[in-house]
């Protein structure tokens, strides 16, 4: 699992971690049942305060993406348990994040939409985007 943070970014570090892990979970890169590194290890690996990594995990747990249990650690939750509202929330969050990236890169809306359509089509046909 590779997570990178940019301490100079306007996006809080915990949110960078949360967003990257959420994407890995939602795309299947981190499958259900996969154990995440302990909070202390993640913080040490990234050179961050433990509370920063802990907040990212709390946010993921609140979103239903992971479950945490004392002495058992944090594992990726079964995605089939997401409610329609949770799914809609995830899509809305991902779309907002994508739109913000496209704006920062100066990509016109039509081009950004075309990239999404291409990615969705590639995902259903099995061809690369």
User: What's the pLDDT tens digit per position in 37-86?
Assistant: 999 999 999 999 999 999 999 999 988 899 998 888 999 998 766 678 87
Residue 74: strand pairing partners: 68
Residues 97-112 as b/e (b if ≥16 CB within 10 A, e otherwise) read eeeeebeeeeeeeeeb
Residue 17: which of 53, 45, 49, 44 has the closest Cα? 53
Q: Do 43 and 34 contact (CB within 8 A), yes or no?
A: no
Count other C-beta atoms under 10 Å from residue 10's C-beta: 5
The pTM of the full predicted model, rounded to 2 decimals, is 0.65
């Amino acid at each position: 699992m590779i997570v990178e943070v940019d301490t100079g970014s306007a996006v809080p570090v915990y949110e960078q971690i949360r967003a990257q892990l959420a994407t890995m979970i939602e795309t299947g890169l981190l499958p259900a049942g996969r154990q995440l590194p302990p909070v202390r290890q993640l913080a040490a690996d990234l050179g961050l305060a433990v509370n920063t990594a802990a907040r990212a995990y709390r946010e993921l747990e609140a979103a239903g993406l992971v479950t945490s249990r004392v002495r058992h650690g944090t594992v990726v939750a079964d995605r089939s348990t997401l409610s329609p509202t949770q799914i809609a929330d995830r899509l809305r969050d991902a779309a907002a994040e994508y739109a913000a990236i496209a704006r920062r890169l100066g990509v016109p809306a039509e081009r950004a939409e075309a990239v999404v359509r291409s990615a969705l089509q590639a995902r259903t046909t099995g061809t690369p985007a």
